[in-house]
Amino acid sequence: MKRGWIIKSGLLVMAFTFALLQFNCEAVDEKVVAETIEPEIVIPDSTAYFDSVYAPITYKLDTFFEKKFKATTFNGTVLFAERGRIILKKSYGLADWKKKDSLTIENTFNLASASKPFTSVAILQLVEQGKINLTDSVEKYIPTFPYIGIDIHQLLSHRSGLSKYDHFCDQPDSIWPDKHKSIHNADVIDIMATIIPQVAYSPNTRHYYSNTNYMLLAQIIENVSGVSYKDYLQTNIFDRCEMNNSVLYNRDNKDELINPVKGYTGNYTECIDIYLNGAVGDKGIYSNVEDMLKFDEALYDGTLLTEESLALAFTEHIDQKNNGQNYGYGFRLTYDDVKGKIPFHTGWWKGFRTYFIRIPKKQQTIIVLSNIKRGPFFNVNDLVNLLP
């Protein structure tokens, strides 16, 4: 009996000791948990934080363009952004050299060939709606088109081989004798049907950059949509993106332009508003850096095109790269080992030089608009490498 009592007592002591140890461990665990709970994180104002982080980059960019301006090799407006946040937005120089009016962010520039992405987006919208197919022949939409074997895809990718209208309409003078009279897309198409300019290359055999392609695309947009190319852009792109300062200029609507700058040659002579400015699709859009950023953001968020259509625009369509570049639909394409594929387009026309560069992997945007043809062109990769 005594031995059994001792055993039971020992078991009771052991059970009590175990319970006491467990209680102490739980108390210690609770203390440890209490001590390791993360304090509440106070997130600083995101804009202020972004600005502070990018302050050195902003300074670097500003210094780069300030030096170009002081060296008289740049006069214009720039915008660099990441995920829609502004890194640098600034104007350098004059909008009107005679009046000495300073450039402002609101000033609009002729985008020249940087207008082509807009034409491409418009065509791809009509493809999404089932109104046209990329394999459709041009004569399906322009009955007087005098060539066979050329389709929408070839126009978009500059693989049609067609001669440049800004060449065959300009010489000889008998083609368009009154150089004061605007020439419009329909006029160019009539000329093509009449004289049938010799093609530079057979269709779809090689890449040949020709403004004729995008002039024809603008006319196809009109014929398919039933509205002018100008009105189509306004309703389906500018309004959707709230690009309130952007206008298609066709030489008959100068009063509609919003804060336009003048284009100048290298010796500061104002460029003539020549008759070829009446043709559009390959050029003609006036815009500013803020509106171009809105266009860029709309390409990211699906406002204008589906991801599938955008992927088509950024697909290479040249058999061999030219100077490290390729061409999609309305976008040139270059590559960076770190930043990946970089869609972009430049422009050069009657004093205007423009750059619209997208870096999708980093969602970075570069927009440079200049109104003086002076100094060397910017290298696109150099502009890309200004960003981290």
Catalytic residues: 113
Cβ proximity of 297 and 310 under 8 Å: no
* Two tokens, residue 70: 């002081």
Residues 342, 361: Cα–Cα separation, whole Å = 9
Instruction: Burial-class residue 48 by CB neighbours within 10 Å (0-12, 13-18, 19+).
Output: exposed
Instruction: Burial-class residue 324 by CB neighbours within 10 Å (0-12, 13-18, 19+).
Output: exposed
Instruction: Burial-class residue 362 by CB neighbours within 10 Å (0-12, 13-18, 19+).
Output: middle
Q: What is the DSSP string of 160-196?
A: S-PPPHHHHTTSSGGGS--TTS---HHHHHHHHHHH-
At 146 the three-state DSSP class reads: coil
Cα torsion angle, 288, 294, 296, 302, sign: negative
Q: State the Cα angle at 169 between 373 and 216, rounded to 5°.
A: 90
**Greatest distance between any 2 Cα atoms in the chain:** 133
At 227 the three-state DSSP class reads: coil
* Two tokens, residue 244: 């309130």
Residue type at 73 in one-letter notation:
T
Q: What share of the chain is helix, strand, coil (3-state, %, to 5)?
A: 40, 20, 40
Residue 83 Ramachandran class (φ > 0 left, ψ -120 to 50 alpha, else beta): left
* Order of all β-strands in the sheet with 247-248: 109-110, 285-287, 247-248
- CB count within 10 Å of CB 146 equals 14
